Amino acid sequence: MIKTVGLKKEFKSGIINKRIVKAVDDVSFDIEEGKTLGLVGESGCGKSTLSRLILKLIKADEGKIFFNGIDISNYTFSDMRELRARMQIIFQHPDSSLSPRKTIYSSLIEPLKIHRLYKKGHSEEIVKQYLKVVGLSEEILSRYPHQVSGGQIQRVVIARALLLNPRFIILDEPTSMLDVSVQAQIIQLLKSIQQQFKITYLFISHDLELVKAVSDDIAIMLNGKIVETIKADRLYLDAKHNYTKKLIEDFVVF
């Protein structure tokens, strides 16, 4: 479903003494349809930059990106418009994912209008159906984001992504801002949705054990590079890179 080959992205850092930062440095990986690749690394290692390169929200300096077998590396913003519905992202901060000035209903219906999928009457029913999928009642539709909990907002954001029938979703630390009990509920929901709709995930986190619980394979990222990729169920047995071993040790000690 997703394949990258030699992706690179550099940024200039500093005002006076400018230096080049290799945010993503020759990254190659692939994710099979309906599977989850977990991407683990400390803050600043390039995880979020990589996710935005895949979605072509920022332009790569080098490398190729394939979506469902199609090379989209040179797609323009206009070319990507049609694919946006199929490639979604769910961000870390649920409270900043929705406009505070719009009702939940307006936020849910907006993507359908943007992608010209809105049909009066029919779309409203679809919205209600997907609310049920994520475990919410239609009573929430008239509320504003500040009137619901963080966990409920994240469920709304998930429903909004599902409305566009995506084949691939990037989950950028989707539970890190939630209480532990709510985290577990959202993770179970995401796993259930994946099974039901056969969606492919890239799950980004700094939490090794969480990634192990939700992923088929785990890619370890350090200083812009993927230094190791391991089957999730073999993580503790097959880890070879020193950084991976350190992450495991730090988790076990914690």
Summarize pLDDT for 201-230 with one digit per residue, the tens: 999 988 888 888 899 999 999 999 999 999
φ, ψ for residue 63 (rounded to 5)?
Answer: 105, 175
What integer is the mean pLDDT of 124-133?
88
pTM, 2 dp: 0.88
Name the domain boundary from 165, 180, 208: 165
Name the domain boundary from 165, 193, 208: 165
State the pLDDT at residue 251.
63
State the pLDDT at residue 133.
92
> Are 202 and 231 members of one domain?
yes
CATH label of the domain that carries residue 205: 3.40.50.300
Residue that wins the pLDDT comparison between 118 and 212? 212
Name the domain boundary from 139, 165, 191: 165
Pairing, β 225-231 against β 217-222: antiparallel
- Per the prediction, the chain carries an average pLDDT of 87
- Cα–Cα distances (Å) from 18 to 9, 12, 14, in that order, read 16, 6, 5
> Are 173 and 188 members of one domain?
yes
Strand order across the beta sheet in which 62-67 lies: 19-31, 2-13, 62-67, 70-71
Summarize pLDDT for 168-201 with one digit per residue, the tens: 999 988 887 778 888 888 889 999 999 999 999 9
State the pLDDT at residue 231.
94
State the pLDDT at residue 71.
94
For the record, the structure tokens of 126 come out as 């679809």
3-state helix, strand, coil in the chain (%, to 5): 40, 25, 35
Question: Which one-letter amino acid corresponds to residue 2?
Answer: I
Alpha-carbon distance of 89 to 179, in angstroms, equals: 21
| Number of folded domains that form the chain | 2
> Are 180 and 237 members of one domain?
yes
Contact between 87 and 164 under an 8 Å Cβ cutoff? The reply is no
